[in-house]
Amino acid sequence: MISQTRDIVQKSLDALLEDESFLPEVKGETRKKAFTSLTSILSTPNHVHKSYLRIPLEDEKVVRIPAFRVQHNNALGPYKGGIRFHETVNEEEVVNLASLMTLKNALHNVPFGGGKGGIILNPREYSEKELHLVARKYVQYFSDVLGPDKDIPAPDMGSGEREMDWMMAEYKSIRPGTPYRGSFTGKSVVNGGSLGRREATGKGVFFTFRYLVHDFVKEQKSLLTKTDNVFAKTALDIEDRALTIAVQGFGNVGSVAALEAYQSTHLQNKVVAVSDRNVTLFNSDGLDIPALVEFTMENKGDLPTKDEQLKEIGVKAEIRGRDEVLYLDVDVLMLAALEDQVHKDNVEEVKARIIVEGANAPITTDADTYLSDKGVIIIPDILANAGGVIVSYFEWLQGRETQFYTEEEVFNLLYDKMKTTMNTVLPLFFGDPFPLRQNCYIHSVMKLSTVLYRQGKLY
């Protein structure tokens, strides 16, 4: 996963080096040296903080849990990124996710840098009291590098508003008398969180897909019909017909994206499959997404795994293996689970014509190349799943200004910001042979390169 980000950043820098209209004042050997500096700066983090949290458990054992906070780059503003609670967390993953946050914020013109945190544990194996202690210890161990103007964590996989509330409270107790509301985002509304923050990533995932296939394609149809771009042909092929959608992952991101698709009045959607860590549920006529969302809220986030459970909630569905969601003959596949889900060993079985990355890096480099060569449109993570950090920015602003937006205002601001980004990258995407991921990275690298050059950090 880490090589994918580095490779795309390097390809972007190579393309910009040859483009004399970019930073035209930097020429010759000076230009080569500046771009060598950019490669070094963007491919490595500023800081990697690591510690072992000492946690006394309720059974009177004491464990030491590895934890990380990576600060990749802060040229655009304070470091920003979630804290992942998951047993697969490792240092390389956190470094890569921090660099992805740098690029994501640059793409969407959010004035934050890139950071990321991780704690190696399975939260299902710990009591609420133990998780509360883990959250507090994380802040205690990393308090010197955190803060509303330094590094602002948020929820990620395995964490949510509860953990952010705990962490903000601990930060407040450690730093009495200093501003604390902006120290963490993704908090509960009563603790200064923003309305709509929990749903923001999932709503953004669906919005990017909807805007591409509905708004943009309709507005630019005359342009798209004149080009031989393979991705334009894919977009035109699915225009104005009912679309079947499958969603991998039914957590905060996947369930919200599925519900948005189910309720959308813009597109003729039907969500025919959803999955989680246990099961895929399939119905060619479409699933009752609201009923499934309600079930997961009452069953620790898990989808039904038995016919009796489906019957009890009135949902008609076939129960299939959890990975089958990837291989269904659908128009759209939304990946909202873990990284590396589509790879060289299974990519040939993937049939979807559009893939939306709700998770970070769910498609490996090899698989990405294979799918793009076939004309599959991949809306990449850097573009699709930025809703969370965008609304986190709104929450941070609200905390500083001590005023709050309505949920409608939050979502309107979110859509406007994502629409602006889409209108920047989509014309380029349909006008040249680069996949959308590459176009997004080029835009991000242009922004970061310009800022770093203006700040005098390339010499």
| Catalytic residue positions, numbered | 116
Query: What six digits make up the tokens of 424?
Result: 């920047």
- C-alpha–C-alpha distance, residues 146 and 82, integer Å: 12
Buried b (16+ CB within 10 A) or exposed e, 149-161: eebbbbbbbbbbb
- C-alpha–C-alpha distance, residues 333 and 83, integer Å: 26
- C-alpha–C-alpha distance, residues 326 and 351, integer Å: 8
- C-alpha–C-alpha distance, residues 414 and 200, integer Å: 8
3-state secondary structure of 20: coil
Query: What six digits make up the tokens of 355?
Result: 């893939």
| Residue count of the chain | 459
Compute and round to an integer the Cα radius of gyration of the chain.
Answer: 22
Closest CA to 389 of 99, 85, 105, 77: 105
- C-alpha–C-alpha distance, residues 175 and 253, integer Å: 33
3-state secondary structure of 171: helix
Give the CA distances from residue 4 to residues 156, 269, 455, in Å, rounded to whole numbers and listed in that order.
21, 32, 28
Check: CB of residue 370 under 8 Å from CB of residue 349.
no
- C-alpha–C-alpha distance, residues 222 and 216, integer Å: 11
